[in-house]
Structure 1
């Protein structure tokens, strides 16, 4: 097949496809059992902190809480809230809760216009006596 008859091929890769939002991958090296999503790292770090702080409460249960913690890290790997990852969903809720109820115009908070007083004058005059209309000339 000559070059003139070969169909053109165009490929476009978004940055998200080239660099997915995962942590723990550097070149060809990945963390053990990784790479991890940010949600997984939050559950991993937060769960480790909670398990260490509450060891005296659950130590009688043996490895069950630790296994449950690791299963929960695995379970949140594809967590989505309304089609978004949990961090952007929570950020969206925080933005809605903290913004001004009047909204924004041109990047600034929308505010009502300041009240202004009418500075005009008016005069009340007595009513004038009605004058008969001039008779139209006959003609």
Structure 2
């Protein structure tokens, strides 16, 4: 290897990640629209809960309500499947952002928050300056 040749490093981590999914059947098949990641399932369940809580505001006891209860969670789950933040799922990206926000400003050293040491003040009797030969 010559000195001018650039160093090249490869990472195969992304190819080796297998997300935990719901909806893969043992025979190799899958459920309708699936398989779903845990993030998608969480968003869909959360959307159903929000729709149910807000039902008195928007629901009018028609067949359209059932369509909304199906289409909105499914649509949000589909959007979450396609959303990527720096190659990560939204839930993991959010967890990383919260970790960064909660981290100490100067970082950590051996698991503890690192603090700048207090400056040592020089006292007049602590040192002597001598003029040496020139």
**1:93 & 1:25 partners in 2: Cα distance?**
31
Q: Which runs of 4+ in 1 moved over 3 A?
A: 24-32, 114-120
**2:29 & 2:49 partners in 1: Cα distance?**
24
Corresponding residue for residue 65 of structure 1: 68
**1:51 & 1:30 partners in 2: Cα distance?**
31
Unaligned runs of 5+ in 2: 1-14, 127-134
**1:23 & 1:94 partners in 2: Cα distance?**
26
Offset at residue 15 of structure 1 (A): 4.9
Corresponding residue for residue 28 of structure 1: 27
Q: TM-score, with normalisation over the residues of structure 2? A: 0.62
Count of residues paired in the alignment: 108
Corresponding residue for residue 117 of structure 2: 113
* RMSD over aligned Cα atoms: 2.9
**1:35 & 1:121 partners in 2: Cα distance?**
75
- Asked which structure has the greater CA Rg, the reply is 1
Structure whose residues are more often helix by fraction: 2
Residues 1-139 of structure 1: pairs in structure 2 closer than 5 A: 15-16=16-17, 19-25=18-24, 27-28=26-27, 32-33=31-32, 34-60=34-60, 62-63=64-65, 64-66=67-69, 67-116=71-120, 118=122, 121=125
Distance 1:116 1:76, change over 3 A: closer
